[in-house]
Amino acid sequence: MNGNRTRWWLVWTWIWVWATACAVPPGERMATAGFDDSTNGLVDHAEPAANPQAGAFFNDGDDKDIRGRSENLFRDTDDDGLPDQRVQDPQSQRLLIQTASMSLEVARPEAAIADFVARAQAAGGYLTAQQQTQVTVRVPAAKFETLLSDLRAAGRVLSESRQAQDVTKQYFDLGLRLDSAKRARERLLALLEKANNVKDMLEIEAQVRRLIEEIERMEGEQRFLADQVAMSTIAATFRSTVAAPPPSKPRRREPSRFDWLEHIGAERVMEGF
């Protein structure tokens, strides 16, 4: 009887956990995602620390009621059940993966490449690939525009293209799912403490392991997105302005009126010997 009860308890808990993650209304979701702070009982979201943009996005550092703040940050203006990322300054709050590619004509490609890489490194970036006169660097997002301006000034721009992939919603959703999974893990661990037979314990442990794997996968995905947003990519191709010399053609020599000039030369020596 006890065993059946525990089993039913497990099943209902599991159903409740996943229902919480998938079907909680927007207002409630913020609370279950763990947007708490130490002042009003709601703590700030701590992850990911590496991404200032995401930190600013999720951080509730001003002790405001999370619901009031969520209305500012996460208004659902299109009634799709998901909060919009509309803020007073949308540009600063969006998470964008920025890439650019540029082709330039320069007097000395080797010197231009060295200068470009040095500038990227000075800005806190690094070289990711170089193939002959094509170079790819990653630089902090804050230095992206500066480095592009520097690159334009280095030579004559032949072509330029830019892309900005908005991953705000993707990152936001990932954060929510991560928090739900972590809370479910905590609840299962609490259940494990109370389990009183081996079969139930094994079942709960299997569920916990699966959750841990899921959490690690989502954390990895979140870290990847954060890195892509934090570091922008610029690919530059440098071409030389010096035109290749025309193919050599046989010279048409203008005959000279001086006899002695007509008979000198290496060709004449070869003929005469």
Partner 1 sequence: MRALLLSLISLLPACASTMNAPTGFVRHDQAAEYRASSSDRGKLWLRDFADPDGADLAFCADAMRHDLVEQRGYEPIGEGEVKDADAAPGRWLEFQVGIGGEKHGYLLAVWVRPRGWPWTDRVQTCEFLAPMPVFTARREAVMQALTTLKW
If one asks whether residue 271 binds partner 1 (CB under 8 A), the answer comes out as no
Residues in binding contact with partner 1, number by CB under 8 A:
17
Q: Please, which residue, 162 or 268, has the CB nearer to partner 1?
A: 268
Q: Are 35 and 41 in contact (CB under 8 A)?
A: no
Angle, CA 131 vertex, CA 125 and CA 133 arms, to 5° = 90
Smallest distance, partner 1 to C-beta of residue 261, A: 6
If one asks whether residue 162 binds partner 1 (CB under 8 A), the answer comes out as no
Q: Please, which residue, 22 or 270, has the CB nearer to partner 1?
A: 270
Sheet of 134-140: strand order equals 126-131, 134-140, 231-240, 96-106, 156-166
| Token pair for 28 | 């409630």
Kindly tell me the burial class for residue 221, based on how many C-beta atoms sit within 10 Å of its own C-beta (0-12, 13-18, 19 or more): middle
If one asks whether residue 1 binds partner 1 (CB under 8 A), the answer comes out as no
Q: Within 209-268, which residues bind partner 1 (CB under 8 A)?
A: 251, 253-254, 256, 258-261, 263-267
Q: Please, which residue, 2 or 260, has the CB nearer to partner 1?
A: 260
Smallest distance, partner 1 to C-beta of residue 246, A: 14
Tell me the three state secondary structure of residue 135: strand
| Token pair for 269 | 């020596």
Q: Please, which residue, 5 or 257, has the CB nearer to partner 1?
A: 257
End-to-end C-alpha distance for the chain, whole angstroms: 120
Residues interacting with partner 1, by CB under 8 A?
A: 251, 253-254, 256, 258-261, 263-267, 269-270, 272-273
